Chains A and B, each alone.
Chain A
């Protein structure tokens, strides 16, 4: 997946995910907002046909990109946990 960093100023980072839709940006933003170190998080798709989602994350402390990385790691862990539970509980 391609990532375009549009802005990185101190505690704020804005990046774009070309070719993605709402699925991942919404998940990143909602998980970010649950964290105490995140001050502000939002995403926007400028145009539904041609735009790519732009995500903005501002943190209270620390490096904003590290926080984003940690959120993505959380998503990996969550999806793996979900998948393992499905495989265990659901019979064919």
Chain B
């Protein structure tokens, strides 16, 4: 197994994964979306709300606000322990909101939420939540806990988790006529000028598309302007795994957490399998 980092920013990574089974990459992708725990508002107690918005809509919006969760993973109890609790210790973080609009309208932003734990804060403070007309007031306590994406999408650690086969362009410009090559390159430019330029320089060979471009146009080109000159293939032993975080956890942590969960699940399955046979015939 070989991993190359193609892109890495605080909220997004793209990895080239070589010589790993597709099912493994797919399991990781699925676990990222459904199992990696993050913090999100789950209960809201309204003290006052005379805005145009129903309590439920505001509660739903609060749930969708990403909260920083990296430290919370160690500090707070697991989703399984907290899901049925209303008043358990080490489960909930309270975020308070109390804003009134006097004679000017006010827009309430995610940054207005006052958290009781500095490790659990809204990731972005500029997400508009509620519009308050003059004279309106909203006062509430929102309680956040750890949860998993399989319970509700607000607990998904990633907004994007996707993999695809590595696209490879096979081409030979040396045998074709000049017009065909020019036409073909023009077609290729439609998706990326950079790639078209590189192909022109290489003249013939194979080009691995590691750039983040949509390769479906190349199919069209290979059938039209680039007929018999260029082909696109997909390597089925190399994958490009893209992960975009909500900001609650860094992408690296999301990945390592997903893999740790996979390992733990497998370990517990192995243990259960050992127990279920009792060292011989089925029980």
Contact = CB atoms under 8 A, between A and B. Distances in A.
**Chain B: interface size category:** 35 or more
A45 interface: no
Interface stretch (B45-53, B166-174, B250-258): B250-258
Nearest to A87: B256
A16 B214 CA distance: 40
Given A23-B30, A82-B259, A86-B252, A69 B24 contact: no
Q: Is the interface of B mostly helix, strand, loop or mixed?
A: helix
Contact of B262 (A3, A31, A75, A87): A75
B116 interface: no
Contacts of A75: 24, 262-263, 266
Interface residues of A, number: 38
Contacts, number: 119
Q: Is the interface of A mostly helix, strand, loop or mixed?
A: helix
B282 A8 contact: yes
A23 B27 CA distance: 5
A3 B5 CA distance: 37
Given A23-B34, A34-B21, A82-B1, A3 B265 contact: no
A5 B22 contact: no
Contacts of B31: 23
B1 A1 contact: no
Interface of B: 1-5, 8, 13, 15, 20-24, 26-28, 30-31, 34-35, 150, 250-252, 255-256, 259-260, 262-263, 265-274, 276-277, 281-283
Interface of A: 1-5, 8, 15, 17, 21-24, 26-27, 29-31, 34, 65, 68-69, 72-73, 75-76, 78-83, 85-87, 89-92
